Amino acid sequence: MSIELEKQIQELQKKVESLEKGTKDQLSMVVFSGDLDKILAAMIISTGATAMDTKVKLFFTFWAISALRDPKKKAKGKNFMEKMFGMMLPRGMRKIKLSKMNMAGMGTSMIKGIMKKHKVASIEELFAIAAELGVEINICEMSMNLMGFKKEEMIDYPNLKICGVATFLADASESKIQLFI
Amino acid sequence: MTSEELKNLKADKIVDARGTACPGPLLAAKKAIAEVSSGGIMEVLSSDEGTKNDIPKWCQKMNYDYLGVAEEDSYIRLFLKKA
């Protein structure tokens, strides 16, 4: 092989390395909405992505955090406002509602029935699959505090982390795909 | 490959994902492919219409050889080869 060619190959290898370092085969998603349909979409995309060997990092913020509450767990030391918020917001993923056609809960239970008929995984199943496949869940600390939630009342999920906006930005900047739901 | 050729193909692993909806077949395929050695052929059975487009895309991403689809009455059979 000529020296010229070898040089060119080395340069190309360096370029490829820097490109690979720039963005990973990774998906970063902000899950903002607390609506059942939107969180279902987020979880279907996430589990699908892991099937394609794409690493998934979810950043749960604002209303979406309600879905991560464990109805069996209770947190102590809440003030009046935090208790009020806790009462008014849905207690976990079983309680979240459709963004449209909820019709006082009728629409939501109807869609759950239709999903079962079509053998679509339920939201609980999707979270279990996501845990098994290594989908990472990060919770935004600031909005968790605003809603008056505590880490102790969140679901059991492997490596559930509490973080800030910098974690999302750092993850997103090295992800090929970024989404906001 | 033609539909006839595919139907005569002997798969090393058959994944029956019939009755599940998206992303069920994809997750089932992902789980099963781990048991296929390189060069092996896997067949995915699905009754979900979208799988026909999804599996080729998945193969493209994962660097598997997508061989084609054979249609039966109520389901489809998708064939791929692990590189």
Q: Is B61 close to A53, i.e. CB distance below 8 A?
A: yes
| Count: domains in chain B | 1
Percent of chain B with pLDDT over 70: 100
Q: What is the pLDDT of residue A41?
A: 97
Domain that residue B57 falls in: 3-81
Q: Which residue of B has its CA nearest to A122?
A: B21
CA distances from A109 to A100, A106, A112, A146 (A): 13, 5, 5, 29
- Sorted by sequence, the CB contacts under 8 Å of residue A49 that are 6+ apart come out as A27, A56, A177
| Residues composing chain B | 83
> Among A46, A78, A48, A101, which Cα is nearest to A151's?
A78
- Alpha carbon distance A37, A40 (integer Å): 5
The pair of structure tokens assigned to A156 is 């059991």
Strand ranges across the sheet with B65-71:
B13-16, B41-46, B76-81, B65-71
- What chain A holds in terms of domains, given with CATH numbers, is 25-180 (3.40.1260.10)
pLDDT at A152 over 90: yes
- Sorted by sequence, the CB contacts under 8 Å of residue B15 that are 6+ apart come out as B25, B28, B29, B31, B32, B42, B43, B44, B45
> What are residue B77's DSSP bridge partners?
B45, B70
Q: Are B47 and B22 in contact (CB under 8 A)?
A: no
> What are residue A137's DSSP bridge partners?
A58
pLDDT in tens, A23-82: 899 999 999 999 999 999 999 999 999 999 999 999 999 999 999 999 999 999 999 999
CATH of the domain at B21: 3.30.110.40
pLDDT at A19 over 80: no
Q: Which residue of A has its CA nearest to B61?
A: A52
Q: Is A51 close to B30, i.e. CB distance below 8 A?
A: yes
pLDDT band (50, 70, 90) for residue A18: confident
Query: Is B59 annotated as catalytic?
Result: no
Interval B10-22 mean pLDDT: 94
pLDDT band (50, 70, 90) for residue A1: low
Interval B10-31 mean pLDDT: 94
Could you say which residues from 18 to 77 on chain B have a Cβ atom under 8 Å away from some Cβ of chain A? Answer: 19-24, 26-27, 29-30, 58, 61-62
